[in-house]
Structure 1
Amino acid sequence: MRRFLAPVIVFALTCMVFPVLAPGAARAAAGPCVGAPPADGTVYAETRQFVDTQSWWMPDVDQANNSITNNGHVHLGACLPERETISSGNVTVNVRVILHDNPGTANYVSMVFITSDTEAVVQKCYLRATAADFTCPGPSSTGDGDFVCAGTCERWLTFSRPITDFNRSGLQEIHLRAFVPEPDGNEMRTSLNFQTDIQNGRSPSDVSRYPFLRGKGWYTHAGYCESSVRSVPIPDAPVSGVWTPAVGLTTHPNASLPATHSFISIDPDFHAIPANRGTVLWDSAGPYGPEPFGSAPISIDTRTLANGVHKLHLRTSCRDNTLGSTNSGVTVIPFTVAN
């Protein structure tokens, strides 16, 4: 089934097109994080948006639903300084982790700084059952995290590292990644990659490998399944009229299963009972954008939406016939409508 908010969607001709900010979107001054949950009321020195990435391990409609094939979700979200400039002090990011119907024991979240010639884990924060929110706990006595959940539970971690930890200046990448070992011995991961302009006095060298916002689900054997936003930066200020960001819902190019379904919606709530699919813009077999790692525009007529903050939900599913379930990678970005 295909549903469209606008009648025409034109696919990108190449898998490596990175559009600039789309018409109707603009940059804004610093202030509260756009779309932030109430728990994070920080007023940041630069404009930020709360971006959520999710990993799902859930069976398709024709796959058996049992304790091996259904491990629910893990969310990783944060107020990101995506494409903003940081010229002093630390990169500080509050990270929210949610387990939803996930039987695993959450281990830790890592923050990785990626430059044109290095990739280094600069901080690990462990997910602990009794630790206070907005801290960076160490491991338990076993050397791992010990956060488990029945139903839906959340934890907040705070990462903070000096910008001098980047060995280059200019456009650099930050990678956040959460690890959840599952009872059957497999592992679920979710990760979020974004870029920030770092001005630390080091020699300039912009990152060029996949320089766009992307959220990934990962599961043992299945590999990565990815949803990305290619129109960078994502809008700080309100959008109006027809907003046409470029997105990619595809597999990852490195040893991962192909995308078997793609879904794009505005303001869904899959934790509601019954689940709310939101305003569905696309729901179809296969990727959205040419494989591998392509992209295409999606037209959003903001005049059909109420003024205020909305969420664009991108979900790519990659079926794993060997393990009998489906790995999905989700990226959710906020945008503000003002018509």
Structure 2
Amino acid sequence: MLTQPQNCTGWPEPRFWIEAQLWWTDVGQNVSSDSRHFHIGGCMPYNQTLSGKVTFDILAQLHNNQDHIFKEIYFLAPLPSNATGIVLDTSNHKIGTTGPIKFGCSQLTCMNVYRIEVDTSLISQDCTSALRLRAETALADGVQPNLDVGNGYVYAPELSFKVHISNGNPACPVRYSPDYVPEVPTIAAGFNDFPWSYTRLSVFKDALPTKPLSGNWTIRQLMSFDQRLFNRVSPPVAPVTRSFVTLNPKFHVVDPATGIAMPILGSIQLDVDDMIYRNLVIDTTKLPNGRSIFFFRSDAFVEPGTILPDTIPWLPGVNHTFSGGKPHPGGTSSAVLAFAFFVNNPIPSTSTS
């Protein structure tokens, strides 16, 4: 029986709501109100020890996205420590999948829940690693590729989160270095024409808050990735052009009288026109007690007329012909990492003498 995917009680181990989103906004449109979205998320056993088969109920959502479908949602085994982070052929890495699906949406918003059984015994080494959830998308039946409106490119939202794998297998090799601190960030990624145009972001140093917060909450080393640093492409194809953090937004509010999107941006904590690598302090006393949502978005604007390269500098012999050399129409690719946290501050006394 499927669970209510945002209620993380009742699982055999502690779980926490984490979600990745991939947004695409055509050039000239408003990112907050005019984007089309892919969401994948669920109650994840973040920082828990896993063995054998583990059940996940994944909530998939489409917003303003009538031309596309989800065609498969799956989990990937953690990458080895020396991997590039790019997996072109996922078939040998899948440890749990929906199999082929056709989840589309003819309305403004649609959602569906899929149960996926993940076999952690297929992971060859026992490690503290990032378990990876990814969705592949495609054009809906009858929709023709039209690169002028972004139809025909690849969109692949991805989420990874920290787990401890324990199946009695050999341990991961240890890197002996006095300045090396192993990091398994919680990370979201959004790929458009994978792997050329993408945005990535992470919460690096700190664990996600799994207990109620009070007072000031400091998040160390929020990071939005930029191809200038991580893809060694010069000039960058799609550099990070905005990093945005808010709490409790509601992007899909529609004025019932006009049908016009009226997004509520929430309590904005950070809004920078560049990539970031920094700490962030949030005053939880300004939030209501109970459940809140942390929302972190990284935007990468693709200039109209950009021609995506067909060769990859660090993968010799691998070629891509996404658009046949046709200039990209331009737009904004965004990755989102969202997770739930709880606040429990003392309630000021209202008694009078």
TM-score, normalised relative to structure 2: 0.71
Instruction: Give, in angstroms, the shift of residue 223 of structure 1.
Output: 2.1
| Counterparts of residues 301-320 of structure 1 (less than 5 Å) | 301-320=283-302
Q: 1:272 aligns with which of 228, 243, 253?
A: 253
Task: Provide the residue aligned with 1:22 in structure 2.
Answer: none
Task: Provide the residue aligned with 2:161 in structure 1.
Answer: 194
Matches of 1:56 and 1:115, distance apart in 2: 25
Answer yes or no: is the 8 Å Cα contact 1:168–1:205 preserved in 2. yes
Instruction: Give, in angstroms, the shift of residue 181 of structure 1.
Output: 2.1
| Counterparts of residues 33-112 of structure 1 (less than 5 Å) | 43-59=10-26, 63-65=27-29, 72-86=36-50, 88-102=51-65, 103-112=67-76
After TM superposition, which residue ranges in structure 1, 4 or more long, deviate above 4 angstroms?
36-42, 206-210
Matches of 1:155 and 1:65, distance apart in 2: 27
| CA deviation map 1:295-332 (0-9, x unaligned) | x1110011111111111110000001123100000001
Distance 1:231 1:336, change over 3 A: farther
Gaps of 5+ in 2: 84-91, 140-144, 146-150, 175-180, 255-261, 307-328, 346-353
| CA deviation map 1:176-227 (0-9, x unaligned) | 1111224432121100011211111111117988621001111127522012
Report the AA paired with residue 112 of structure 1. Answer: L
Matches of 1:279 and 1:155, distance apart in 2: 28
Tell which structure's C-alpha radius of gyration is larger.
Answer: 2
Answer yes or no: is the 8 Å Cα contact 1:249–1:314 preserved in 2. no
Matches of 1:216 and 1:224, distance apart in 2: 7
Matches of 2:15 and 2:23, distance apart in 1: 26
Answer yes or no: is the 8 Å Cα contact 1:51–1:332 preserved in 2. yes
Answer yes or no: is the 8 Å Cα contact 1:82–1:194 preserved in 2. yes
Instruction: Give, in angstroms, the shift of residue 334 of structure 1.
Output: 1.1
Matches of 2:95 and 2:49, distance apart in 1: 19
Distance 1:211 1:38, change over 3 A: closer
Instruction: Give, in angstroms, the shift of residue 284 of structure 1.
Output: 2.1
Distance 1:316 1:89, change over 3 A: same
Q: Kindly, what percent of the aligned residue pairs are identical?
A: 27
Matches of 1:81 and 1:306, distance apart in 2: 26
Partner-residue secondary structure (3-state), 2:238: coil
Matches of 1:161 and 1:57, distance apart in 2: 29
TM-score, normalised relative to structure 1: 0.74
Structure with the larger RCO, 1 or 2 (CA within 8 Å, 6+ apart): 1
Matches of 2:219 and 2:169, distance apart in 1: 33
Partner-residue secondary structure (3-state), 1:146: coil
Report the AA paired with residue 185 of structure 1. Answer: G
Partner-residue secondary structure (3-state), 1:262: strand
Partner-residue secondary structure (3-state), 2:93: strand
Aligned residue pairs, count? 274
Is 1:204 matched with 2:171? yes
Q: 1:260 aligns with which of 228, 236, 241?
A: 241
| CA deviation map 1:120-161 (0-9, x unaligned) | 112321xxxxxxxxxxxx43xxxxx32220211011111212
Task: Provide the residue aligned with 2:309 in structure 1.
Answer: none
Distance 1:238 1:40, change over 3 A: closer
Matches of 2:12 and 2:43, distance apart in 1: 12
Matches of 2:6 and 2:297, distance apart in 1: 25
Report the AA paired with residue 308 of structure 1. Answer: G
